[in-house]
Chains A and B, each alone.
Chain A
Amino acid sequence: MAECIFAFGQCFEGKLHPASLEILTPLREVADRLNKRLILIGLADDKEKFLAIPELKKLLADEVWYIIHPNLKHLPDDLCERVLVYLASEHKPYGIFFPATKKGLSVAPRVAGSLQAGLCAHVNAFEVKNGNLFLLRPTYGENIIAKLTSQRLPIMATLALNAFPIKEAEKEPLIKELKHPEGFDWSTKLTIKNFKPPKKEPSRLSVAKVVVAGGMGLKSKENFQMLFELAKILKAEVGGTRPAVHAGWVEADRMIGVSGVSVRPKLYLAFGISGAIQHTVGMEGSEFIVSINIDKEAPMMKMAHIGFVCDAPSFLKALLRKLKAKD
């Protein structure tokens, strides 16, 4: 019992969400340390499309279990819950892990509720000690990391996006279809009337080589807008802190940090960002960090390779003026 670990493999129309590949990287390590089998669970409506997913043969999982049913096309939350809870009660996994995609964040709590299991959110690191698994997540605005355990099995968590690099395996996993028993309830209370692919291009923030980011130190939406001018000149993507997003200065898909995007660019320019841990966990992998802040003691100034003690809007205005003059 408790000898396997489930990872939720989120797919749609023959595409596996990259976040499902990311979570296999740390889970592979956890599974090896604890001597468990790592199993990717795929739910889909079309067997051929599922088996044609190119990444399937290079997965870090030991096995891929897939379940096919026409109602699984849009992965309705209530049906996903029922299928996963059934698998969990049959196989008693040690842990069940989801990527922190919208689907993962919607289905995992339903499964946790059904199984009466603890569920940790936004986990971005694991620790194995004396055969026990600890989950690490940044917390509460202060510079604090919480180390969490679960008193019950299965241990469940959603794993932060972009927090782990995707790796390929040398060995092909065992791929097998699971059949649910006769009479299994495949119904869902959700009817999809219409589905539209995203209107706008997804932001390229997470893979950008240069990121210019702003926080409350920029003082206004107008000042924040200047970052887009700078981004054009530096061929960069614009990011923001959570307070800047909440203030409406920048769109939510440009939020960097715990509940947003993680970035690891070659150059990171922080304008008026103090460096709360919610933000810094999303950018600490940056190669070269520049911070502009009026407060010399701000955490971001300490993280930075170069810090400029200055009012961020004034600095940004001066910088743009000089860069434009050079054109």
Chain B
Amino acid sequence: MGRIVVCIKGVPKPGTVKVDKETHTLRRESAELILNPPDRPALEVALRLKDQTNFEVIAISMGPPNMVPLLQKVYALGVDDIYLISDRAFAGSDTLATSRILAKALSLLSPFDLVVMGARSIDGETGQVPPETASLLNLPSITYVKELRFVDGKFIAIREDDFGEEEVEFSPAAVVSIVPEIDYVRPPSLKRLLSLKEITPKILTNAELNLDEASIGLSGSPTQVADVFEKTLVSRGEIFEGEPDELAEKLIEVLKEKGFLA
């Protein structure tokens, strides 16, 4: 039986984000966390492989302790085990430091056949962690995967590229990132939902990972925020109020005047 590890992320619910004034990083402990939406199809892809080929699926997440309820919900979808990678020392990590932490955690879970992640997180939006983690583990990475199959001991992925669509074959182990184009995701299992309180994630702190503190967190991150500034907007135009009909008429007038309408 092979093993698939799915890396998931809790992202602040849009609108609840706060930025730390000193470090200019996101304050995740204060935000309400939701599962990063592209991670849902990533989980589905892993669970379909499990249905098909009897892979064991483990979900891991790096984040603060308030990730636990999210991991429990993911357990209810049908994964076999959940892990939380959590330590104050990890806070403020950029994509390189994050990838170091994930790579180390994954190596503790090896041997595995596949690591699955969402193509990008909706808060950071970089999409860098899957290929960067793969590079640190010296594994191939296959990004923007739309479809994934396991045939005769090999994976076959359909992925989007800039000049077309590729069908790529590769042997385990590898890291894939999934684009959220999947038609159906399964609901949680009722039976599992009822037993959630007994399921707690295994915790991996830096005591287990044993990474040099200079290589993680804020101090292990080469990318530093020098400054943040707000864009200030000064109203520059004319504002009209009124009924839809009269406003629409006004717009048509303007568009004709400017030559956008005959």
List chain A positions with a Cβ less than 8 A from chain B.
10, 12-13, 15, 17, 74, 77-78, 81, 101-103, 105-114, 116-122, 134, 139-152, 188-199, 210, 234, 242-243, 246, 258-259, 266-267, 277-278, 280, 288-290, 292, 296, 299, 301-311, 314-315, 317-319, 321-323
Docked CA distance A102–B128 (Å): 11
Given the known inter-chain contacts A110-B131, A148-B226, A304-B237, please indicate yes or no for A234 contacting B261, CB distance below 8 A: yes
Chain B residues with CB under 8 Å of A152's CB are 222
B66 at interface, CB cutoff 8 A: no
Contact A147 B126 (CB under 8 A): no
Chain B residues with CB under 8 Å of A147's CB are 225-229
Docked CA distance A150–B156 (Å): 37
Chain B 116-161 residues near chain A, CB threshold 8 A: 120, 122-136, 140-144, 156, 160-161
Best-surrounded residue of B140, B141, B248 (most CB of chain A within 10 A): B248
Identify which of B51-59, B70-78, B167-175, B189-197 touches chain A: B167-175
Chain B 29-60 residues near chain A, CB threshold 8 A: 37
Q: Give the Cβ gap from B94 to chain A, nearest Cβ, in Å.
A: 6
Contact A118 B223 (CB under 8 A): yes
Given the known inter-chain contacts A119-B128, A195-B167, please indicate yes or no for A141 contacting B223, CB distance below 8 A: no
Give 27 pairs: A residue, B residue, CB < 8 Å, sorted on A: A17-B163, A102-B143, A105-B143, A106-B141, A109-B128, A112-B95, A113-B133, A141-B15, A141-B17, A142-B230, A144-B228, A144-B229, A147-B229, A149-B226, A151-B221, A189-B140, A189-B171, A190-B168, A195-B165, A195-B166, A266-B260, A267-B255, A296-B241, A303-B233, A303-B236, A310-B247, A319-B248
B187 at interface, CB cutoff 8 A: no
Which residue of B96, B144, B231 contacts A117 across the interface (Cβ within 8 Å)?
B96
Docked CA distance A107–B189 (Å): 38
Chain A residues with CB under 8 Å of B165's CB are 195-196, 198-199
Contact A305 B231 (CB under 8 A): no
The closest CB in chain A to the CB of B165 belongs to: A196
Which residue of B135, B160, B229 contacts A145 across the interface (Cβ within 8 Å)?
B229
Chain A residues with CB under 8 Å of B235's CB are 301-302
Docked CA distance A151–B226 (Å): 11
B224 at interface, CB cutoff 8 A: yes
Contact B128 A190 (CB under 8 A): no
Chain B 246-262 residues near chain A, CB threshold 8 A: 247-252, 254-255, 258, 260-261
Contact A143 B221 (CB under 8 A): no
Chain B residues with CB under 8 Å of A196's CB are 164-165
List chain B positions with a Cβ less than 8 A from chain A.
14-15, 17, 19, 24, 26, 37, 94-96, 99, 120, 122-136, 140-144, 156, 160-171, 174, 221-231, 233-242, 244-245, 247-252, 254-255, 258, 260-261
Contact A77 B141 (CB under 8 A): yes
Besides A109-B132, A308-B240, 14 more A-B contacts (Cβ < 8 Å) are A105-B128, A105-B143, A110-B134, A121-B127, A144-B19, A147-B227, A147-B228, A197-B164, A280-B231, A305-B238, A306-B239, A307-B238, A322-B245, A323-B252
Contact B162 A103 (CB under 8 A): yes
Contact A118 B96 (CB under 8 A): yes
Contact B229 A305 (CB under 8 A): no
Contact A118 B131 (CB under 8 A): no
Contact A322 B248 (CB under 8 A): yes
Contact B161 A103 (CB under 8 A): yes
Q: Give the Cβ gap from B231 to chain A, nearest Cβ, in Å.
A: 5
Contact A140 B19 (CB under 8 A): yes
Contact B261 A148 (CB under 8 A): no
Chain B residues with CB under 8 Å of A305's CB are 236-238
Q: Give the Cβ gap from B209 to chain A, nearest Cβ, in Å.
A: 17
Chain B residues with CB under 8 Å of A142's CB are 17, 19, 230
Given the known inter-chain contacts A102-B160, A148-B224, A308-B251, please indicate yes or no for A109 contacting B131, CB distance below 8 A: yes
Docked CA distance A194–B174 (Å): 19
Which residue of A78, A139, A210 contacts B260 across the interface (Cβ within 8 Å)?
A210
Contact B247 A107 (CB under 8 A): no
Q: Give the Cβ gap from A193 to chain B, nearest Cβ, in Å.
A: 5
Contact B95 A119 (CB under 8 A): yes
Q: Give the Cβ gap from B242 to chain A, nearest Cβ, in Å.
A: 8
Chain A residues with CB under 8 Å of B141's CB are 77-78, 106, 110
Which residue of A10, A192, A302 contacts B166 across the interface (Cβ within 8 Å)?
A192
Contact B240 A198 (CB under 8 A): no
Contact B129 A192 (CB under 8 A): no
Docked CA distance A105–B127 (Å): 7
The closest CB in chain B to the CB of A199 belongs to: B165
Contact B134 A148 (CB under 8 A): no
Docked CA distance A243–B234 (Å): 25
Q: Give the Cβ gap from A276 to chain B, nearest Cβ, in Å.
A: 9
Q: Give the Cβ gap from A107 to chain B, nearest Cβ, in Å.
A: 7
Chain A residues with CB under 8 Å of B156's CB are 193
Contact A277 B99 (CB under 8 A): no
Contact A301 B244 (CB under 8 A): no
Contact B95 A109 (CB under 8 A): yes
Docked CA distance A289–B250 (Å): 15
Chain A residues with CB under 8 Å of B120's CB are 259
Given the known inter-chain contacts A144-B230, A148-B225, A307-B237, please indicate yes or no for A195 contacting B249, CB distance below 8 A: no
